[in-house]
Copies of this chain bind each other. A is one copy, B any other.
Amino acid sequence: VAGAVSEFDLIARHFTRATPSALLGPGDDCALVAPSPGMELAITTDMLVEGTHFLPDTDPGQLGWKTLAVNLSDLAAMGATPKWVLLAGSLPDGDEAWIGAFADGFFKCAKRYGADVIGGDTTRGPRNLCVTAIGELPAGQALRRDGAKADDDIWVSGQPGLAALGLAHLQGRTALPEALAKRCITALQRPLPRIELGLKLRGLATASIDVSDGLLADLGHILERSGLAATLNEGQFPLIPPGSEPKLAREAQLGGGDDYELCFTTPIAARQQVVMLAAELDLPLWRIGYTVAASAERPAGDILLTDADGKPLPLPKKGFDHFG
């Protein structure tokens, strides 16, 4: 009907942009791509639900960025180069201002990391956004969770815990100084997937994961899949941000999700290379501990947290589980 904004119009207007890396972009039954010869594909899908992952009044532009960023973070964790993205969305209405702002944020993130949005689906229903992201990497070079070896160094990038502090601030559970609040809310709403770090870790890291559920929980996944335990030294952790409540900030660092930093393991022999990589990327990389062969006393997945003097510390609760 002339004048009506139909589903197809909405999609075409806001989500159809040039897709130079694809043979065929949005508008057909499928998108078509030609994978590069000799490359493997890393593929991931993530669903973000209003009320579970974001609040109804979340800024749509920031939500657009984050919706894609959390998927690209999974590609970063594998060491893959982002290539193609599909977006399916359920929306309660055809609110074009919201859709336009969301699309802007989504495409800003796609452009920043070099991904083409090649297809999607739009339907009516409770707000829900589902992205599938596809990246390429040279055969055999993927950074899997199951490759860590005993006595590897354990590293984490950036400043994990800021996003959880930002959420606590927004929810009134803590009061951060203004500059720190701004930094933490940016970490929460506009996470930066560590794509460049992931690419540089190919051939260097033995295992890698992105910190989406919390550092201890996600490190636990590496340990379980690799059949190892770990000892962490709190004295080697990133410093707690000045102005935050120390206990809350430490819990956020160990258990807070949503930062999308990378946690990875490397052989001791690679330690100097990782230090140089941090300088090259201008990104802090913290050597927070080491892996330990599993044993009867310390089964696979076990994490021992110690203070700077090696004295055991209690573990805070683990990451967020939607059905826990």
Give residues in A with beta carbon < 8 Å to B. Answer: 1, 4-8, 10, 23-24, 27-35, 37, 40-53, 74-75, 77-78, 80, 84, 86-90, 93-94, 118-126, 128, 130, 132, 134-135, 139, 142, 144-146, 208-210, 225, 321-324
Complex alpha-carbon distance, A146 and B29, angstroms: 11
How many whole Å from A95's CB to the nearest CB in chain B?
A: 10
Bound-complex Cα distance A3 to B84 (A): 40
A323 contacts across to B, CB distance below 8 A: 5-7, 10, 93-94, 122, 124
So how many copies of this chain end up in the complex? 2
Q: A6-B324, A52-B125 are in contact. Are A34 and B30 (CB under 8 A)?
A: no
Say whether, besides A53-B123, A322-B7, A29 and B44 are in contact (CB < 8 Å): yes
What are 30 A-B contacts defined by CB distance under 8 Å?
A4-B324, A7-B324, A23-B40, A24-B142, A27-B145, A28-B145, A28-B225, A29-B74, A29-B77, A29-B210, A30-B42, A30-B74, A30-B80, A31-B44, A34-B139, A43-B86, A43-B132, A43-B134, A44-B86, A47-B89, A47-B123, A47-B128, A48-B123, A49-B90, A50-B125, A52-B123, A52-B125, A90-B128, A128-B128, A132-B132
Q: Are A130 and B45 in contact (CB under 8 A)?
A: yes
Q: How far is the CA of A283 from the CA of B135 in the complex (A)?
A: 39
Pair B49/A43 contact, Cβ less than 8 Å: no
Residue of B nearest to A132 (CB): B132
The 10 nearest A-B residue pairs measured at CB = A49-B125, A30-B42, A130-B130, A29-B77, A126-B126, A132-B132, A47-B88, A124-B322, A94-B323, A35-B35
